[in-house]
Amino acid sequence: MGYNKLKGVKVIFFTMAGKKHTLQFKRLSEFTEDKDEYIKLTASWAKTAWGYLHLDDKKYYLREVKEKQNEIYVATFYGLPVAMFGLFERRLDPFREEDDNTLAPSNTELKAVYFDYVFVEEKVRGLGFARQLLDKAKVLAIELGADLIYLETLNPKLNNMYKKLDAKVICEGQYIENPTDVLSINIKKPDAQVVCEALEFERRPRMY
C-alpha cells in the first residue's frame, strides 16, 4: 500500500527542490485498489485531528468517512496520499425580521458548499498544500453552481491561515458545545449577514 511509504516523500521533495509540488485529487469512493486501506487512512487522519471530540466512540470517524466517501477527496503526490478535504453541498434559507419582530422566510436562497475534513500530513506541511486543497474546492464549488464556500475552525489560530487564502470570519458557531468561528469564501459575493442568519436558523451543531 502506497501510504506506508510516506516517509519517502521527504526524499522526493529534496530531489525536486525549487519545483512546484502539484497534488492530484481523487474522490475516496473512486479508489478501487486498496479501498479499505484508504478508508482506514482517512479515518485515522480525522481521528488524529479531531478524535478528542469523540473520545467515547473510537469508530466514529471510520463510520463517517465510509458514509461520506463520495464527498471526501484524497490528495496524492507521486501516488502517495498526503492530504484530504471534504466538500458537502448545502442550501441556506435565511430569515428576515419583520416590523413586528417576527421572523419570515427570506426570498434569498444561497447554494453553499461546506469545506470540512481538511487535513495535511504533518511530514509535508509548509509546502503550499493547504492552498491547493482550497483551490480544488473552489473549482468543484463553481462546478456545483455554489455561491460560496464556508467552513468552521475550532482553533482560532487557524483563522490566519485561512485569511491568507481569501477567507473571512463572518460569525460564530458551535460544535458539540465547543465554540467555532465561521469563515466564508465568496464565489458570487453573497452578504455575510445573510449567510450567518441562514446558519443560525438551521439550528445545527456543526454539519459534520
**pLDDT attached to residue 19:** 54
Identify the weakest region by mean pLDDT among 42-51, 75-84, 88-97, 134-143.
88-97
Summarised one tens digit per residue, pLDDT across range 100-155 is 444 444 556 778 999 999 999 999 988 999 999 999 999 999 999 998 899 999 98
Does residue 76 have a pLDDT over 80? yes
Does residue 18 have a pLDDT over 50? no
Domain that holds residue 64: 2-201
**pLDDT attached to residue 94:** 58
Residue 207 lies in a domain: no
Residue 208 lies in a domain: no
- Phi, psi of 79, rounded to the nearest 5 degrees: 85, -5
* Residue reference for cell 502539484: 22
Distance (Å, rounded) from C-alpha 190 to C-alpha 204? 21
Does residue 43 have a pLDDT over 90? yes
The beta strand positions in the chain, using DSSP E, are 24-27, 72-77, 80-92, 95-97, 103-105, 110-120, 148-153, 168-175, 178-186
Higher pLDDT, 206 or 100: 100
Name residue 64's amino acid. Answer: E
Supply the pTM of this predicted model.
0.78
Residue 98 lies in a domain: yes
Residue 8 lies in a domain: yes
Residue 190 lies in a domain: yes
**pLDDT attached to residue 204:** 42
Residue 106 lies in a domain: yes
CATH number at residue 137: 3.40.630.30
Please give the average per-residue pLDDT across 45-70, as a whole number. 92
Is the distance from CB of 110 to CB of 198 less than 8 angstroms? Answer: yes
Summarised one tens digit per residue, pLDDT across range 142-187 is 999 998 899 999 988 889 989 988 899 988 888 888 889 999 988 8
Higher pLDDT, 71 or 110: 71
| Domains contained in the chain, number | 1
Q: Which residues contact 185 (CB under 8 A, 6 or more apart)?
A: 115, 134, 138, 148, 149, 150, 151, 165, 166, 167, 168
Residue 130 lies in a domain: yes
Distance (Å, rounded) from C-alpha 106 to C-alpha 93? 7
Q: How confident is the model at residue 197 (pLDDT cuts 50, 70, 90)?
A: low
Residue 7 lies in a domain: yes
